[in-house]
Structure 1
Amino acid sequence: MLSPRQLFLQHQAQTTDFPLLLEVEKAEGVYMYGPAGQRYLDMISGIGVSNVGHRHPRVLQAIHEQLDKYLHLMVYGEIVQAPPAQLAHALAQTLPEGLDNVYFVSSGSEAVEGACKLAKRFTGRTELIAFNNAYHGSTQGSLSLNGSENFKRAFRPLLPDVRHIRHNQLEDLDQITSRTAAVILETVQGEAGVRVPTKEYLQALRQRCTEVGALLVLDEIQSGFGRTGTFWAFEHFNIVPDILTCAKGMGGGMPIGAFISRQEIMHSLKNDPMLGHITTFGGHPVSCAASLATLRVIQEEGLLAQVEAKANRFKERLVHPAVREIRNLGLMMAVEFDSFDTLKRIIDKAILKGVLTDWFLFCDNSMRIAPPLTITFPEIDTACDLVLEAIVEEVGF
């Protein structure tokens, strides 16, 4: 009989010539476990997914309880189901007044697709503005918004009427005009290597969108659900978007996403045409039950209050001459080295020592640090010790 590794290589579509090929039999908390007893400290949370850790007991309980009731019943929006209705209400309670209408989807890319369709439909405009080094997903629409030509070149032609401007540059804001349907921005740029805009810039962007009637779409697919120390990253900047997208950390490990807006805006998808956005599995009851449990864990177990101190512990401990800079907002962190070659050797050595880290798509000389928010201070110390050992063994001094 073929092993899982052999089956993976023979029959599962690959995305690179060098997959990690870590075999995982079980995961719990901040750890993943291999078939021979290997233990890996997960410092990237499945790329921002496992914010409350792997298999959190309250998430598992919610999943089990929903499994005993029903699974998929009908395409989105036709049948009243308690899990998505309760989750939509709970999400609205975390948001400023007016952001109270939630459309559930299955992924972050689909959330971006829905948000951009909504903006075009509501404004009657066609132009979308995104940012250099932005990442918003891999479907053709969301790929059109991505800010790296290297990732788009092979798939052109993509969406027309998409413009890219420089991130955090006030002088580019005049390119947002009365032709613009929406400006879409990661509140914290993720794959660019954790680039945090200034409060001045985001407030000026908000004002410019309001002046010309463009909708401001904030992509919090990576930064939402507590990752930065507030439930939503935009809370750090005293602004409110017109449309908000989320996914990744909202499901506690289950697939789910959403785009959220005012009822006035969202209702434009109901007519001309009717069913302006359709999804089969959006609002899946099991995923919504898991997401509601995840939200409650973040709120009720004090995770937000601990994020800044935990991030500071990483910054205090990850000190070495080879570390050029540490950028972060909360536990969304980038540790910069001189080159990809240096970083790749450190990452590979750290994995051998039992710590899983990663780099960023558009910033391949920086190490991604985004552990579950549930990580303890002793676990942070262990992770930092092992990463520092890897640095010393690969770089020296």
Structure 2
Amino acid sequence: MNNRQLFLRHVAQTSDAPLALEMVKAQGMYMWDAEGKRYLDLIAGISVCNVGHCHPAVVKAIQEQAATYMHLLVYGEFVQSPQVAYATYLTGHLPDSLNSVYFTNSGAEAVEGAMKLAKRHTGRAEVIAFNNSYHGSTQGALSILGDEHWRNAFRPLLPGVQHLQHNSMQAVDAISERTACVIAETVQAEAGVLAPSLEWLQALRKRCTETGTLLILDEIQCGFGRNGSLWAFEQYGLVPDVLLLGKALGGGMPLGAFIADKSVMWSLTNQPVLGHITTFGGHPVSCAAGLAAMKTLMEEDLINSVEAKSKLFLELLRHPRIKAVRARGLMLAVDLGDFPTNKKVIDRCIANGLITDWFLFAPESLRIVPPLIITEDEIRSACRIILDALDAV
């Protein structure tokens, strides 16, 4: 049997029609399959590889840490220098109130931890989330995910969750002294790149403060420069009580985090002790990789070019079949009207050496979230392939 056949037989499948491309190498903006064909990557492992695949600084950090030590003990007991260094660097680039980092294995686990933190800190049970939001696939995260199609098969889910309309002032009014937390994506990703209004997000912040509710902002997809600033919330002139990170946080290694003020995070240390625990969260190799990736992001000044690159995509992506293009930095959704058309375009792009995808709650839209290192020439090449695919289908 070849690897594809073994993959289909022995690796648990998440759909009945996986792409099943056998990639054997990735570097920078590109991946290569087993036949040697090169693909330009337009989705960065779903917003993971912001500094590209196998950046030399990230690879070096992984190799050095792996040769020093890997797993030692359950998270939070030993002082592990990669965790300390990364938490220090992260909080040095965040507002003063976001000063305590709890590292997890993934973004979904960060969501789970933040929900527990909100309930423990406030002594309340109600959670408010929003329609068409995506926060992960674990049981608690699924409970706040904003689409019944994806939730229904796994009920019963967590009680006490309200799903309200994103960007609606009625949702703001629903926040009360019973609400433990409001959790929102700063920019809704899987809804097809939907950014809330400045007035709405600021009103959400104000109402949470008035009611003693924790405002949790999920920047698992949109953080680390993806929207043209280091953190998307910076564009709204506010600070969340809890920030959720993942995906690009680990530089290609598995890592998530929820970040809050030390006074809030301390709630997990008592009544009961070990209020949130993880064996592999904040793995030293992942933390070393993430720190190297974030330093690369900052030192190579990649964020300052995001808006210009976004505008180039918008200029080039013009075609009678394109209904609209929604963009927030290098997070773009190309609306093609319906999923069958979009899927044909995606398949043709892949056949022509361009990796792209669709959105869970906006399947009619083509996903563009490339590594931030993408060049103007690569943007032009990618857009030519997309437009040629539109002509062909």
TM over 0.5: yes
> How is 1:92-103 mapped onto 2 (pairs within 5 angstroms)?
92-103=91-102
Tell me the equivalent position of 2:4.
Answer: 5
Residue identity opposite 2:351 in structure 1: L
Tell me by how many angstroms 1:172 deviates.
2.2
> Which residue matches 2:71?
72
In the alignment, the residues of structure 1 paired with residue 112 and residue 60 of structure 2 have an alpha-carbon distance, to the nearest angstrom, of: 32
Counterpart Cα distance in 1 of 2:66 and 2:10? 30
Match of 1:226 in 2: 225
Residue 340 of structure 2 corresponds to residue 341 of structure 1: yes
Q: Which residue of 1 aligns with 2:324?
A: 325
Which amino acid is the alignment partner of residue 158 of structure 2?
L
Structure 2 distance, partners of 1:211, 1:91, is 28
Q: Quote the residue 1:41 is aligned against.
A: 40
Q: Aligned with 1:363: secondary structure? A: coil
Q: Are 1:59 and 2:58 an aligned pair?
A: yes
How big is the shift at 1:171? 2.4
> Match for residue 250 of structure 1?
249
The residue aligned with 2:184 is 185
SS of corresponding position for 1:258: strand
For residues 136 and 387 of structure 2, the distance between their equivalents in structure 1, rounded to whole angstroms, comes to 32
Quick one: which amino acid aligns to residue 317 of structure 2?
A: L
Task: Name the aligned partner's letter for residue 66 of structure 1.
Answer: Q
SS of the counterpart of 1:25? strand
Amino acid at match of 1:249: A
Equivalence for 1:148: 147
**How far is the alpha carbon of 1:350 from its aligned partner?**
0.6
Alpha-carbon deviation of 1:223? Answer: 0.5
Counterpart residue number, 1:379: 378
Cα deviation code 1:167-212 (max 9, x no counterpart) = 0011221111100000000000011111000111100000010111
Q: Give 1:67 deviation, angstroms.
A: 1.3
Question: Which position in structure 2 is the counterpart of 1:293?
Answer: 292
Question: Could you say what secondary structure the match of 2:23 adopts?
Answer: coil
Q: CA deviation at 1:215?
A: 0.4
CA distance in 2, matches of 1:173, 1:202: 9
Structure 1 CA distance for aligned equivalents of residues 18 and 25 of structure 2: 19
Partner of 2:202: 203
Q: Which residue of structure 1 lines up, in the alignment, with residue 239 of structure 2?
A: 240
Q: Provide Cα deviations, 1:40-83, integer angstroms capped at 9, x if missing partner.
A: 11100111111110000110011111111001001100001110
The one-letter code of the counterpart of 2:142 is: L
Q: Give % identity.
A: 58
Deviation of 1:321 (Å) = 1.0
Tell me the TM-score normalized by structure 2. 0.99
TM-score, normalised with respect to structure 1: 0.98
Query: What RMSD over aligned residues (CA atoms) do the two structures have, in Å?
Result: 0.6
Shift >6 Å, 4+ stretches: none
Q: How does 1:237-316 map to 2 (within 5 A)?
A: 237-316=236-315
Q: Which residue matches 1:162? A: 161
- Mapped partners of 2:327, 2:240: distance in 1: 22
Q: Helix, strand or coil for the counterpart of 2:363?
A: strand
Aligned length: 393
Q: Secondary structure of 2:128's partner?
A: strand
CA displacement 1:241-286 (0-9 Å, x = unmatched): 0000000011111000000000000000000000000000011000
Paired amino acid for 1:246? L
| Superposed displacement of residue 229, structure 1 | 1.2
1:364 counterpart SS class: coil
Distance across 2 between alignment mates of 1:163 and 1:338: 30
Distance between the aligned counterparts of 2:209 and 2:229, measured in 1? 25
Per-residue Cα deviation, 1:150-181 (whole angstroms, up to 9, x for no partner) = 11111000000000110001122111110000
Amino acid at match of 1:225: F
1:171 aligns to 2:170 (yes or no): yes
Q: Distance in 1 between matches of 2:77 and 2:225?
A: 31
Q: Which amino acid aligns with 2:134?
A: Y
In structure 2, how many angstroms separate the alpha carbons of the residues matched to 1:194 and 1:252? 22
- Residue by residue over 1:350-381, the C-alpha shift from the partner in whole angstroms, topping out at 9 and shown as x without a partner, is 11100011000011000110000011111111
**Structure 1 residue 23: Cα displacement:** 0.9
Q: Secondary structure at the match of 2:34?
A: coil
Letter of the 1:242 partner, please give it: D
**What is the aligned partner in structure 2 of residue 30 from structure 1?**
29
Aligned to 1:217: 216
Q: How far off its partner does 1:3 sit? A: 1.4
Q: Which amino acid aligns with 2:182?
A: V
Distance 2:300 2:365 in 1: 31
